[in-house]
Structure 1
């Protein structure tokens, strides 16, 4: 036990001497360790994915099918179907997390699910990854839910130049000026009053 304490003391001394001799390298390693610690601490869990999926599903349910984004709706429906089938799996890789699809529920006892020769290959794993969790967020679900309340199919029948709206199409400064002009009092000139009186 005594020799172990001596070894730790010597290792700490070497760290302090190395940091004093090369402060730039020591600062870089400290930043690297702090970044890795932050990533590991904020790596999302299976429960956070379930909560994000439920929240996304609830947001989409508030809108009619004709208004919600088809892309977001299809992705969320696919994830909920896999969840109901028991096929969603979570894997923490310390700095980030993965959600992936398993071929069967863990409790399935059919031959295809139990045979070790029919297990999916590791080379197929990237195609089964559904989401990546990093720094407290699920990035694929977040990107699919972008503009979840805009159905692009509504605009499919329009000519191509009208399908995309740019800032030039909005003319917001002119619209604001006209909107404010609507509330200005009407000022009649002497000629206008005489013209109305004679008419």
Structure 2
């Protein structure tokens, strides 16, 4: 009986001493995380970025002019990228241009503006307008077919337009929040060029400096002079 009690006490004492020893040798959560490959790679990456930032600061102090030029270029690229217009912006500008032309009489409407806007509207109705953003600016270009078209010519990869033909398919360039080609075509959209095509060359071209001048007054008086009809040589 005494021997059995001694054995039990010995086992309890051994288990009691072994548990603290095992608890002391087992590493904690953070110790295990430090040995992970991902953690080691992240720490080395952050260390490299830290050293690179220090080199940038030191280089900027040594060459401030060069640093200002680089910062200005990066800031300019960032502003241009943020101001590059989207596809929805082009559609809104196109509809505004079309509404502006509808308010004008066909006899006073510019043929150049009307033709350009009508062509873009036709391509829009045919789902042939495409948009691409190239960092600092955007492009709108013409696609040969609708994306849902199942014709053989539209699906065959060998019949697709070539890259060399891409400049001829560009419809507009978006930069700093404006579509410049559409804006240029809509300039003087309320002036019909054909209305003045039969006037003399001296009256057809009037510069800004001629407004409210003696030359302009002379041209105004010529307008009221009677028309001289030439006899037919036959």
Normalised by the size of structure 2, how large is the TM-score? 0.72
Q: Tell me if 1:123 matches 2:178.
A: no
Q: Tell me if 1:27 matches 2:75.
A: no
Q: Which of 149, 164, 187 is the matching residue for 1:146?
A: 187
Mark the runs of 5 or more structure 2 residues left unpaired by the alignment. 1-41, 218-234
Aligned residue pairs: how many?
174
Shift of 1:171: 2.6
- Residue 112 of structure 2 corresponds to which residue in structure 1? 71
- Residue 42 of structure 1 corresponds to which residue in structure 2? 83
Cα RMSD, aligned residues only: 1.5
Shift of 1:168: 3.1
Shift of 1:170: 3.5
Shift of 1:169: 5.7
1-structure distance, mates of 2:121, 2:178: 18
Alignment of 1:74-113 (within 5 A): 74-113=115-154
Shift of 1:23: 0.5
State the structure with more CA Rg: 2
Normalised by the size of structure 1, how large is the TM-score? 0.84
1:137–1:169 CA distance, 2 compared to 1 (3 A): closer
- Residue 102 of structure 2 corresponds to which residue in structure 1? 61
